[in-house]
Every structure is written in structure tokens, then in C-alpha cells.
């Protein structure tokens, strides 16, 4: 049966999050945009308590308490609403994020327990994913960070530098979290050599060296992390012990499985921001005597009405793509195609909508008196991280054409 | 709850329609367009699939319940084969669904069984008017009360099978609102109803006989007014057309993708070039996005949601742009071959442009 009814439980959670967004995020949006690298502790502390009551915001949803599997759907709705509040501050939400998603997608049950249990504590705790390097962005097979096994001590020794680590500082300095570092155990093997490793906060040899200054989402820290003879226990390689030697189970597959779970969530972030923008735009227009008339043929619409209606089409249809992708995730259906499609569309849509909104409102859109210009800046990240729009198009194209990566580069 | 999976019954219907669409409609599409005629046997075979009949309750001669969701699933599958064929098979539905959605109990009992229980017959409807800013909620055709009758005056265009119609629904403005009127025609004709002498010629859909009609004071009894809300009919038409646009777009996408995987260029297949692969990725994504929007609109109609009409409008708006974008790109991917009428993509493109115009030509 095809159905589009938002599950009651999720609707209830959204109502709560909406009031968090109204009261704890919007009033400080501008402040944290203008005070980059300050941390919104009021929001973080509040969310720590609030989300524990709601079952967490983890990217590794617990499924035990629910009948039908709704974990990823619930997460998508929560993230959408939090980003509606503020896309930058949302990224400071305590609890498992991309690091947990990697643990969840590639770790053993023992590892999930060991690494994810910390998010149940009363102290706000963060995690992060370390993929990108100075010389390896979209081409993740080019990573140079190495992991060498010290057989005597049964430890991995990591060396390298990771950049663009979202929430890296909060995971490693501001809390007892962890990062998931993608490193190679065989630099000559390309993708086949890639493996994910967990490095916990406080591990010697792991240091946050820099915080970036960004176009938008300034409330979120983007860190550089240096690993210098950083030693971690053997068991911190994600997956069963065979992952070390088994060439068939490449770490790259693990990275892709992680993305299947995280891309719809990152897309949900884009949708929340796009919805915020469209709502504010309509509100500003209404205050100025412009209301949008639905149901008319295009030939009778003003250009502003036409733009707004097109935005509604884009927004709603992209959101439904996201819901479909997380619904598939929850129901154990392979969703690489849908996951990348929703990321492509959401990334496009949020940029089109925020760019148009600034244009339509003229000087008011460009002014820092309103949030439209901030949202225009915040939006761009959605087309970049968790796979650029182009990388996701490549993933979609390979799926629909049945090509391997060697056949479509 | 959310669910994106059709029921088993719906899957069976989609399968049956898809089989007919790909093995009967599609192979006939080229010649039908060139010869400006759909073989009557082809239409009857499609009619016998019972898509419309299944959406009419038993009390009125059908064997099911109307479901907009089921309707659009079948409609998309049908239009995937050929748009003209799908519209022809669905033409009696324009009459029947108008009655079902906005007619009185008596009207349903009187007018539905003859359409539903019989072979395909040219029952039709007239909504579109020949003006650039045609607005279904602000018609230029008027209805005025005159004793026990209504008098209809105006001009309609794009009326399928008007020349030999058994009966048609004529939409006209009555007291500021759009209303449907049952106009029986049959062999006797209807006084004051003039059907254009020649078929209309269009950018696409040449396989279908469309006519202009002129209503020069056509009198119908007051009992022939469909009393219900036109908004329901319009929403049913909008989701149906959105579904057809998706079917046409999907056809264009599949054809151009398969072509791109076959054709060699610079030592690889065309599809191995990112310039082409990315176009296909965007086409596929856009089709899926608008399909979900249309599904949601249809679901809202079935669930009697308040915003169903608005959602249907958004779906139709999105679908007309999507169909144009996708069919245009399909032609582009085939390059020069796409411009040649041997390949179907140029027809898909002509059909794709039509969805901005086709209001009222399909219903679920």
C-alpha cells in the first residue's frame, strides 16, 4: 500500500523539535554566524537532555523499542526540523553523527556497543568522520593516511593529516568522543587498502591543529586533525578481524555503505533549510502585500508567484525522495540509488531556493538584517559535503547504467 | 506510516497494463501518429484491461472502487507505451469520472452503466477553450438558466472523438463557478452543438481525433447539471496528467539510456561519457521526484486531505516541466538520430511539450 501519512510518533517529536528550533536556535542564529568557533553550549546542553528523552538523534538509531522500523525516518524528520531552526547549530547537536554512522555500517556488534555507548551518558558527546585529506577530496581512493600494524604490541600506528572534519574539535577536544579515520593498510592497493579506524578522544598522537573559516554553517567547527604515530588498539579497526586481510571486503565498500545511510540525512538537512527559506520568503512577501495564488495557469501568474510555486514543487518532491531513501533504509532495501538521488536533488533545491529568495527580496534579501543571506551561505555546503553533487550524479549514473567505476569514471 | 510499495493487487494491474503498453501500444505508436489513426482493435484491447471499469463501483456497472493511487499507477504504465493510445483508451473515463466525482446518485445510476458495461464507445468531455490563458476555473463558455433548462454558449477545443460522440460533459461557467453539464448526442445530435468539420491538427497526438465544438445555445434540462464540486474533477485530471507525463518521460529516459549504452563514440559507449551519464542521472532523479509528488497527491485525494487540490496542482506543474526537460534531453542524447522520426524520442518530445496544455484530457 502506498501511504504518505507521517507516523504519529514522529509527528510528536517534530512538534517538540519545532519549539526547540523556535526558542533555542533562531534567536541565536545570527550570533553564532558572526562569532565563528564559539560553541552554542546552551543549545547543546539542552539537547543533551531533550534528545535522550526522545530516543536520541543518533545516526545509528536504536530499533529495540519500536514496532515498525522507523529509526532512519525519525532521524530524517528530526534533522529536517533542526536544520529548519539553524543548519549550522544543528551540526552541534550532541550524539552520534557521521562517525557513528560508519561504526553502525561497518562495525561488529561488540564495536557498536563499545564505541556508541558513550552517547547514552549525561555529558554531551560528539563524534566525527575523517575522510578528506589535502590531496584527496572526492577521490577517496587517493587517501595517504597510513595504518601500520605493530604486531608485537597488537596496535595500529596511524600517520597522516585529515582536513574538513565536521565537529572534529567537539569530538576530540570538547568531549570524550571519537573520530572514524579512513586510512590505508596498503598504499599500493588504492581503494582495496582503505579501512576505517576508531580513534578515541585523548589518544596520544592525535591532535586538532586548525579550525577553518567558512562561507556558511559557521556555528559548526570544521577541523584539521593530525595523526602522528598515533597508536590505537588492534580492535579499533572496524569490522571483524578478517577485514585486515580479506581483499574482497574492501574498506571502500564500508565507506559506500556508510554513505547510503548518511546521504539522506545530509539531504534532510538541506530540505529543512530550504523549507525555512521558502516559509520566510512567503511571509515577507505576504507582509508586503504579495500573496501567491495557487491553481492558476502559468500564463496568469506573476513571475514571483511562478518562482514560489516552482520552489514548492522542488522542495516537496525532493523531500519525498529523502523519505523514500530512509524508508528503504529502515526496511532493509538496498538504497544506494535513492540515497544519492535524494542528495543530488536536495543539494540542488536548497541552493536554487536560497539563491532565488535573496534575489526576489532585493536589498532585503542581501541584508544581514534578515536570515535569507545567511541561509544562502549555509545552503552551499549541502551540495559539497557527503559527496558533491557531481559525485552523487556519478553514483546515480553508475547505478542506472549498470556500470562499474572502471567503466564510468 | 509511509510506504512506497504498491499493493499486490496494484502490482498485478501495473503488470497487465505494462504488458499491453509495451507489446501492443508502443509497436503501433509510430504508424498511428503517421497515419493519424489508432486501430480500433488496439483501443478495445486496452479498454478490456478494465482500468476504468475497476474504478467504478458495482452499483454503477463497474467492479471496484475508485482509487486515485491505483488510477495513476495504471495511467503511468499505459502512457509509457504511447500517450495517444493511453488518452484514447481513457476518453470514456472523462465522461464517466466526471459523473462519478461530481454527479448525483441518480445521474450515476443512469449514465454510468451504459459507458462501463459496454465496449469502448466515444463518450467524451469538453473542457479546454481556444485561448492562450485558458483557466479551468474561469471559463469563457457560459451556462444560463432558462426555465427548466440551461443554455450553453461558447467554444471548446481539444475535444476527443467529438464527431461521433454518444454523449459528452460540457464544462461551462454558471454563477461564477465551473460546472459540468451532461449533453446527450447519439445519432440525433444536440441542437446548437456544432462540431468542427475537420479534425484539429496539433504538434503531437495526431493519432487522436480532436475537434473544435461550438455551443450556439445548446439546451440541456436542469437535471443534467452535475451538482458536485468541480475541484474534485480538476484534481483527478491533474494527477492523471502528471502520471501520463511521468510515463512519457520514463519512456524517453529508457529509450535514450539504452541507446547511449549501445552507441560507440571515441572508443567507448556514449553513456560512458560523463556529459551524457550526468544528463541521464538527472533525468532519472527528476522522474522519481515528480513521481513521488504525484503519488502523494493521489494518496491525498483518496484520503480526502484538505490540501489535495493544491498538491495535485503542484504535481501537474512539476510534471509538465519534468516531461519537457526529460524528453528534450532524450532527443539530445540521440543527437541527429533523435531528430529522425524513425526513433520515438521526437514523438515523446512533442508529447512532452503538451502537458502544459492538456488539462482535462485525462482523469483517474
A chain contacts of residue B359, beta-carbon cutoff 8 Å: 297
Whether B2 and A338 lie within 8 Å, measured CB to CB: no
Taking alpha carbons only, the member of A47, A67, A207 closest to residue A124 is: A47
The arithmetic mean of pLDDT across residues B157-163, rounded, is 97
DSSP, collapsed to helix, strand or coil, labels residue A118 as helix
The C-alpha cell of A350 is what?
536548497
* Rounded Cα distance, A392 and A398, in Å: 10
* Rounded Cα distance, A390 and B17, in Å: 36
Whether B317 and A313 lie within 8 Å, measured CB to CB: yes
Whether A397 and B280 lie within 8 Å, measured CB to CB: yes
The arithmetic mean of pLDDT across residues B176-192, rounded, is 95
Q: A206-242 as b/e, with b when 16 or more CB fall inside 10 Å?
A: bbbeeeeebebbbbbbbbbbbbeebbbeeebbbbeee
Q: Which residue of B has its CA nearest to A67?
A: B1
Chain B closest-CA separation from residue A212 CA (Å): 31
Determine the straight-line distance between the first and last CA of chain A, rounded to whole angstroms. Answer: 38
The arithmetic mean of pLDDT across residues B255-270, rounded, is 97
Whether A1 and B4 lie within 8 Å, measured CB to CB: no
Q: Which residue of B has its CA nearest to A331?
A: B3
A chain contacts of residue B261, beta-carbon cutoff 8 Å: 401
Taking alpha carbons only, the member of B307, B323, B289, B72 closest to residue A295 is: B307
CA atoms within 13 A on the CB side of B47: 21
* Amino acid B224: pLDDT: 98
A chain contacts of residue B318, beta-carbon cutoff 8 Å: 313-314, 317
Q: A184-193 as b/e, with b when 16 or more CB fall inside 10 Å?
A: bbeeeeebbb
A chain contacts of residue B285, beta-carbon cutoff 8 Å: 321, 341, 344-345, 396
Taking alpha carbons only, the member of A401, A168, A93, A392 closest to residue A260 is: A392
The arithmetic mean of pLDDT across residues A159-177, rounded, is 97
Whether A345 and B285 lie within 8 Å, measured CB to CB: yes
Q: Considering CB atoms only, which of B69, B278, B296 is closest to A320?
A: B296
* Rounded Cα distance, B198 and B189, in Å: 17
* Amino acid A57: pLDDT: 65
* Amino acid A241: pLDDT: 72
* Rounded Cα distance, A281 and A375, in Å: 12
* Rounded Cα distance, A247 and A194, in Å: 10
Whether B135 and A310 lie within 8 Å, measured CB to CB: no
CA A144 from centre of chain? 24
Taking alpha carbons only, the member of B111, B124, B119 closest to residue B59 is: B111
Q: A78-107 as b/e, with b when 16 or more CB fall inside 10 Å?
A: bbbbbbbbbbbbbbbbbbbbbbbbbbbbbb
* Rounded Cα distance, A351 and A358, in Å: 11
The arithmetic mean of pLDDT across residues B20-26, rounded, is 98
DSSP, collapsed to helix, strand or coil, labels residue B187 as coil
The arithmetic mean of pLDDT across residues A218-243, rounded, is 93
* Amino acid A249: pLDDT: 55
Q: Identify the band that residue A250 occupies on the pLDDT scale cut at 50, 70 and 90.
A: low
Where residue A293 falls (left for φ over 0; alpha for ψ -120 to 50; beta otherwise) is beta
Chain A closest-CA separation from residue B105 CA (Å): 28
Chain B closest-CA separation from residue A346 CA (Å): 10
Q: Which of B177, B270, B285 to mutate to test the interface with A (most CBs of A within 10 A)?
A: B285
Lowest mean pLDDT: which of A241-250, A379-388, B21-30, B187-196? A241-250
pLDDT digit string, tens, across residues B66-120: 999 999 999 999 999 999 999 999 999 999 999 999 999 999 999 999 999 999 9
Taking alpha carbons only, the member of A342, A347, A341, A274 closest to residue A308 is: A274
A chain contacts of residue B6, beta-carbon cutoff 8 Å: 1-2
B chain contacts of residue A4, beta-carbon cutoff 8 Å: 2, 295-296, 299-300
The arithmetic mean of pLDDT across residues A79-85, rounded, is 97
Q: Considering CB atoms only, which of B261, B292, B309 is closest to A324?
A: B292
Q: Considering CB atoms only, which of B133, B278, B315 is closest to A397?
A: B278
Q: Considering CB atoms only, which of A5, A317, A327 is closest to B290?
A: A317
Residue B193: strand pairing partners: B215
Q: How many CB atoms lie within 10 A of CB A364?
A: 14
A chain contacts of residue B314, beta-carbon cutoff 8 Å: 294, 309, 312-313, 316
Determine the straight-line distance between the first and last CA of chain B, rounded to whole angstroms. Answer: 24
Whether A313 and B309 lie within 8 Å, measured CB to CB: no
Answer CATH for A127-249 from 3.90.1300.10, 2.40.110.10, 3.20.20.60, 1.10.3720.10: 2.40.110.10
For residue A243, is pLDDT > 90? no
Q: Identify the band that residue A64 occupies on the pLDDT scale cut at 50, 70 and 90.
A: low
A chain contacts of residue B255, beta-carbon cutoff 8 Å: none
* Amino acid A67: pLDDT: 61
Whether B317 and A3 lie within 8 Å, measured CB to CB: no
Chain A closest-CA separation from residue B285 CA (Å): 6
Q: Identify the band that residue B33 occupies on the pLDDT scale cut at 50, 70 and 90.
A: very high
Average pLDDT score over chain A: 93
Whether A313 and B293 lie within 8 Å, measured CB to CB: yes
* Amino acid A137: pLDDT: 87
Whether B356 and A298 lie within 8 Å, measured CB to CB: yes
Chain B closest-CA separation from residue A271 CA (Å): 14
Q: Considering CB atoms only, which of B288, B299, B314 is closest to A3?
A: B299
The arithmetic mean of pLDDT across residues B301-324, rounded, is 98
For residue A55, is pLDDT > 70? no
Q: Considering CB atoms only, which of A3, A298, A309 is closest to B2?
A: A3
A chain contacts of residue B284, beta-carbon cutoff 8 Å: 341, 396, 400
Catalytic residues of A: 386
pLDDT digit string, tens, across residues A318-365: 999 999 999 999 999 999 999 999 999 999 999 999 999 999 999 999
Q: Which residue of A has its CA nearest to B133?
A: A299
Whether B314 and A309 lie within 8 Å, measured CB to CB: yes
The arithmetic mean of pLDDT across residues A40-59, rounded, is 83
Angle, helix A372-379 to helix A336-360, in steps of 10 degrees:
150
Chain A closest-CA separation from residue B10 CA (Å): 9
Taking alpha carbons only, the member of A72, A93, A106, A270 closest to residue A171 is: A93
Q: Identify the band that residue A252 occupies on the pLDDT scale cut at 50, 70 and 90.
A: confident
Q: Which residue of B has its CA nearest to A5?
A: B1
Taking alpha carbons only, the member of B91, B110, B96 closest to residue B38 is: B91
DSSP, collapsed to helix, strand or coil, labels residue A222 as strand
* Amino acid A242: pLDDT: 73
Lowest mean pLDDT: which of A22-31, A162-171, A232-241, B308-317? A232-241
Q: How many CB atoms lie within 10 A of CB A403?
A: 18
Under DSSP, the state recorded for A207 is: E
Whether A400 and B299 lie within 8 Å, measured CB to CB: no
Domain boundaries defined on chain A: 8-94, 127-249, 253-401
Q: Identify the band that residue A308 occupies on the pLDDT scale cut at 50, 70 and 90.
A: very high
* Rounded Cα distance, B136 and B360, in Å: 9
Q: Considering CB atoms only, which of A309, A324, A408 is closest to B277?
A: A408
* Rounded Cα distance, A288 and A268, in Å: 30
For residue A244, is pLDDT > 90? no
Q: Which residue of B has its CA nearest to A326?
A: B2
* Amino acid A140: pLDDT: 81
Average pLDDT score over chain B: 97
* Rounded Cα distance, A220 and A129, in Å: 14
For residue A246, is pLDDT > 70? no
Could you tell me if A118 and A177 are in contact, meaning their C-beta atoms sit under 8 angstroms apart? yes
Whether A344 and B282 lie within 8 Å, measured CB to CB: yes
A chain contacts of residue B272, beta-carbon cutoff 8 Å: 403, 407-408
For residue B341, is pLDDT > 80? yes
* Amino acid A121: pLDDT: 86
| CATH topology for the A253-401 domain | Butyryl-CoA Dehydrogenase, subunit A; domain 3 (1.20.140)
The residue count of chain B comes to 364
This model's pTM is above 0.90? yes
Domains along the sequence of chain B with CATH: 8-116 (1.10.540.10), 123-226 (2.40.110.10), 230-356 (1.20.140.10)
For residue A248, is pLDDT > 80? no
Amino acid at each position: 500500500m502506498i501511504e504518505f501519512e507521517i507516523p504519529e510518533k514522529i509527528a510528536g517529536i517534530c512538534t517538540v523539535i519545532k519549539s526547540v528550533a523556535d526558542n533555542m536556535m533562531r534567536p541565536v542564529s545570527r550570533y553564532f554566524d558572526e562569532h565563528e568557533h564559539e560553541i552554542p553550549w546552551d543549545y547543546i546542553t539542552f539537547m543533551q537532555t531533550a534528545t535522550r528523552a526522545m530516543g536520541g538523534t543518533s545516526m545509528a538509531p536504536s530499533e529495540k523499542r519500536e514496532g515498525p522500523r522507523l529509526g532512519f525516518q525519525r532521524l530524517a524528520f528530526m534533522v529536517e526540523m533542526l536544520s529548519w531552526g539553524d543548519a549550522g547549530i544543528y551540526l552541534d547537536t550532541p550524539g552520534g553523527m557521521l562517525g557513528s554512522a560508519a561504526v553502525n555500517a561497518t562495525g561488529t556488534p561488540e564495536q557498536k556497543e563499545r564505541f556508541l555507548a558513550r552517547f547514552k551518558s549525561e555529558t554531551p558527546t560528539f563524534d566525527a568522520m575523517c575522510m578528506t585529506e589535502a590531496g584527496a577530496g572526492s577521490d577517496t581512493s587517493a587517501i595517504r593516511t597510513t595504518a601500520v600494524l605493530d604486531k608485537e604490541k597488537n596496535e595500529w600506528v596511524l600517520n597522516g593529516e585529515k582536513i574538513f572534519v565536521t565537529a572534529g574539535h567537539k569530538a576530540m577536544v570538547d568531549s570524550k568522543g571519537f573520530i572514524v579515520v579512513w586510512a590505508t593498510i596498503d598504499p599500493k592497493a588504492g581503494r582495496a587498502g582503505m579501512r576505517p579506524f576508531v580513534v578515541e578522544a585523548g589518544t596520544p598522537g592525535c591532535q586538532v591543529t586548525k579550525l577553518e573559516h567558512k562561507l556558511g554553517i559557521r556555528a559548526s567547527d570544521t577541523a584539521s586533525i593530525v595523526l602522528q604515530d598515533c597508536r590505537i588498539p588492534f580492535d579499533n579497526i572496524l569490522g571483524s578481524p578478517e577485514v585486515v586481510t580479506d581483499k574482497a571486503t574492501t574498506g571502500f565498500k564500508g565507506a559506500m555503505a556508510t554513505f547510503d545511510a548518511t546521504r539522506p540525512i545530509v539531504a534532510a538537512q538541506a530540505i529543512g533549510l530550504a523549507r525555512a527559506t521558502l516559509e520566510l520568503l512567503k511571509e515577507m512577501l505576504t507582509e508586503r502585500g504579495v500573496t501567491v495564488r495557487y491553481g492558476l495557469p502559468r500564463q496568469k501568474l506573476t513571475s514571483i508567484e511562478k518562482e514560489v510555486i516552482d520552489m514548492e514543487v522542488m522542495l516537496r518532491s525532493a523531500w519525498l525522495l529523502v523519505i523514500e531513501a530512509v524508508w528503504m533504509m529502515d526496511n532493509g532495501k538496498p538504497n544506494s540509488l535513492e540515497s544519492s538521488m535524494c542528495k543530488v536533488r536536495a543539494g540542488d533545491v536548497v541552493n536554487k531556493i536560497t539563491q532565488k529568495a535573496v534575489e526576489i527580496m532585493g536589498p532585503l534579501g542581501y541584508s544581514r538584517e534578515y536570515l535569507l543571506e545567511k541561509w544562502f551561505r549555509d545552503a552551499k555546503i549541502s551540495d559539497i559535503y557527503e559527496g558533491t553533487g557531481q559525485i552523487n550524479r556519478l553514483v546515480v549514473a553508475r547505478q542506472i547504467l549498470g556500470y562499474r567505476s572502471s567503466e564510468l569514471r | 506510516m509511509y510506504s512506497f510499495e504498491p499493493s499486490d493487487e496494484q502490482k498485478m494491474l501495473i503488470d497487465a497494463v505494462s504488458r499491453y503498453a509495451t507489446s501492443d501500444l508502443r509497436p503501433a505508436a509510430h504508424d498511428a501518429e503517421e497515419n493519424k489513426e489508432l486501430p480500433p482493435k488496439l483501443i478495445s484491447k486496452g479498454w478490456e484491461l478494465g482500468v476504468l471499469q475497476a474504478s467504478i463501483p458495482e452499483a454503477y456497472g463497474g467492479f471496484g472502487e475508485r482509487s486515485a493511487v491505483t488510477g495513476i499507477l495504471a495511467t503511468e504504465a499505459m502512457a509509457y507505451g504511447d500517450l495517444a493510445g493511453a488518452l484514447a483508451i481513457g476518453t470514456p473515463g472523462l465522461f464517466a469520472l466526471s459523473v462519478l466525482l461530481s454527479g448525483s446518485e441518480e445521474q450515476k445510476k443512469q449514465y454510468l452503466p451504459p459507458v462501463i458495461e459496454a465496449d469502448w464507445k466515444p463518450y467524451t468531455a469538453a473542457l479546454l477553450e481556444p485561448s492562450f490563458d485558458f483557466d479551468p476555473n474561469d471559463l469563457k463558455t457560459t451556462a444560463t438558466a432558462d426555465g427548466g433548462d440551461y443554455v450553453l454558449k461558447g467554444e471548446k477545443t481539444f475535444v476527443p472523438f467529438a464527431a461521433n460522440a454518444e454523449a459528452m460533459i460540457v464544462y461551462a461557467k454558471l454563477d461564477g463557478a465551473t460546472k459540468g453539464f451532461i449533453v446527450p448526442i447519439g445519432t440525433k445530435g444536440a441542437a446548437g452543438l456544432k462540431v468542427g468539420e475537420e479534425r484539429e491538427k496539433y504538434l503531437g497526438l495526431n493519432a487522436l481525433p480532436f475537434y473544435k465544438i461550438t455551443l450556439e445555445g445548446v439546451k440541456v434540462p436542469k437535471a443534467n447539471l452535475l451538482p458536485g464540486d468541480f475541484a474534485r474533477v480538476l484534481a483527478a485530471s491533474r494527477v492523471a496528467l502528471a502520471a501520463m507525463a511521468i510515463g512519457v518521460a520514463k519512456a524517453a529516459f529508457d529509450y535514450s539510456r539504452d541507446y547511449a549504452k549501445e552507441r560507440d563514440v571515441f572508443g567507448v559507449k556514449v553513456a560512458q561519457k560523463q556529459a551524457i551519464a550526468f544528463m541521464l542521472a538527472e533525468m532519472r532523479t527528476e522522474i522519481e521526484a515528480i513521481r513521488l509528488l504525484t503519488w502523494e497527491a493521489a494518496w491525498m485525494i483518496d484520503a480526502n486531505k484538505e490540501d489535495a487540490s493544491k498538491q495535485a496542482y503542484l504535481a501537474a506543474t512539476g510534471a509538465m516541466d519534468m516531461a519537457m526537460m526529460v524528453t528534450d534531453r532524450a532527443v539530445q542524447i540521440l543527437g541527429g538520430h533523435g531528430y529522425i522520426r524513425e526513433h520515438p524520442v521526437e514523438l515523446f518530445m512533442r508529447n512532452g511539450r503538451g502537458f502544459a496544455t492538456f488539462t482535462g484530457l485525462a482523469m483517474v
